[in-house]
Amino acid sequence: MTTLLTTLRQHAPRVTARQFLAAHPGSFIQYYDDTPAKDPAKALSARTFDPGQARRKQRERCAVGFSLQPFGERRIKDDLLCFRTMGVDVDLIAPPARATMTAALIDERKEAYLRSVLAPFPLKPHWLTETRHGFHLLFRVQPLREPKDIAGAQAINRRLVSVLRGDPNAVLLTQLLRVPGTLQFKVPDQPFLCRLLLDNAGTIAPYPLATIRDVLRGREEQSPRTSDAARGSTDRGVPRWQDGLGGVAEGHRNATAASLIGKILRRLPEELWETAGWGGLREWNGRNTVPLPERELRSVFLSIARRERTARRVGPRPLNPSTPCPTRLW
């Protein structure tokens, strides 16, 4: 069966790095050591994109990043020209798991994210870039220049990141994301080509800030955290454990962990809880944007295990013939 990820790759727009950046005038280009060495001597900031310079820096295993917002003389808050792009940096593989994660497993998580998180979201990104461990989502908004409006846009951007399970720390005004069509060197001997999978800039006008705010408010009202945790499902009726298999953002970790381990333990004999159950939960935790501390994760596991152990010991209660049947089944 053809996956959504495969389809996007097969129909990816043929856009060069220079063509992509032409849609982002005023963005700064930043080169930095992309390997674990993080050599600061390789860093270089450029006012414009030079393909020759980019090739030279890539040979040094430097990333090529661009600022989401346009700036004047310097990439600093005081030189910001306007706020025009909301970015979501989605990293589906936690650092501890990257060394052992195969390409096939990474693709599975990417597919799960596309189907369970991005596809159901009412607003389509103007650009979608695939990175080694996830995606970069860009939403173009109508330009904002007043400090009060920019502050409001940043607050909405943080909410957007939360809903789309991105990195909550990647929302600075000076934020950089990778230029599609350039190589990523997180694994130095296995460069990854960051690919532009979607380019909707020519067909979708910039979103008014109010549109994004209203969509986020609607989703937040439809799926308050407390009721989600109580019913064990998302606002789309998908079981929480299934919806969160690819990892979740910080505000959803505990509820998803409880749902997932409950699903696992109910299907396992008790003697396998510690190996298959606990081991599976730890592996899932590595997929989260920010993994839960192990002590907190263990607490969730033990709580659900106690509940399941009690349920097995007590068993189902017999029906009391004098008890009237419910008029509604939940």
Question: How many other C-beta atoms are found inside a 10 Å radius of the C-beta of residue 31?
Answer: 21
Same domain, 122 and 147: yes
Which amino acid is residue 158, in one-letter code? Answer: R
* 314, part of any domain: no
| Same structural domain, 211 and 238 | no
Residues 134 and 210 in one domain: yes
Structural domain includes residue 152: yes
Out of 87-101, 156-170, 192-206, least confident range: 87-101
Domain's final residue, options 200, 218, 236: 218
Q: Is residue 133 part of a domain?
A: yes
Q: Provide the token pair at 1.
A: 């069966």
CB of 141 closer than 8 Å to CB of 83: yes
Please report the pLDDT score of residue 238 as a whole number. 54
SS3 label, residue 324: coil
308 alpha-carbon distance from chain centroid: 31
Confidence class of residue 236 from pLDDT cuts 50, 70 and 90? Answer: very low
Residue 56 has what pLDDT? 97
| Residue among 185, 159, 67, 87 at smallest CA distance from 129 | 87
Residue 306's pLDDT is 85
Q: How confident is the model at residue 218 (pLDDT cuts 50, 70, 90)?
A: confident
CATH number for the domain including 119?
Answer: 3.90.920.10
Asked if residue 6 belongs to a domain, the reply is no
Residues 295 and 211 both lie in one domain = no
Least confident of 1-15, 77-91, 92-106, 225-239: 225-239
Q: Are residues 144 and 239 in the same domain?
A: no
**Residue 248: which pLDDT band, with cuts at 50, 70 and 90?**
confident
How confident is the model over 97-143, as pLDDT tens digits?
887 889 999 999 999 999 999 999 999 999 999 999 999 999 999 99
Q: Which two tokens stand for residue 141?
A: 């908004």
Q: Are residues 228 and 189 in the same domain?
A: no
Q: pLDDT (tens digit, 9 = 90+) per residue, 290-314?
A: 888 888 899 889 988 888 887 776 5
User: What is the count of structural domains for the chain?
Assistant: 2
Report the share of the chain in percent with pLDDT over 70.
87
Same domain, 301 and 179: no
Element (H, E) at 66: strand 62-67
Per the model's pLDDT, the better-predicted residue between 267 and 186 turns out to be 186
Residue the block writes with tokens 């390789």: 42
Q: Decide if pLDDT at 321 tops 70.
A: no
Domain that holds residue 177: 12-218
In a domain, 82, yes or no: yes
Q: Please give the single-letter amino acid code of residue 263.
A: K
In this structure, the answer to whether residues 128 and 253 fall within a common structural domain is no
Q: How far apart are CA 254 and CA 285, in angstroms?
A: 10
Q: Which residue, 171, 198, 218, sits at the end of a domain? A: 218
Q: Give the pLDDT of residue 263.
A: 84
Q: Per the domain annotation, does 326 fall within a domain?
A: no
Q: Does 245 share its domain with 130?
A: no
> Residues 65, 172: one domain?
yes
- Same domain for 213 and 267, yes or no, is no
Q: Which residue has the higher pLDDT, 56 or 265?
A: 56
If 0-12 CB within 10 Å is exposed, 13-18 middle and 19+ buried, where does residue 10 land? exposed
CA 307 to CA 194: how far, in whole Å?
Answer: 45
The answer to whether the predicted template modeling score (pTM) of the entire model surpasses 0.75 is no
Is 249 inside any structural domain?
A: yes
pLDDT, position 266: 83
- CA–CA separation, 230 vs 190, rounded Å? 44
* Residue with the larger pLDDT of the pair 287 and 152: 152
Least confident of 27-41, 100-114, 122-136, 244-258: 244-258
Q: Are residues 130 and 39 in the same domain?
A: yes
Which of 218, 238, 254 delimits the end of a domain? 218
Cα distances (Å, whole numbers) of residue 256 to 73, 77, 145, 263, 274:
45, 37, 39, 11, 19
Q: Tell me if 92 is assigned to some domain.
A: yes
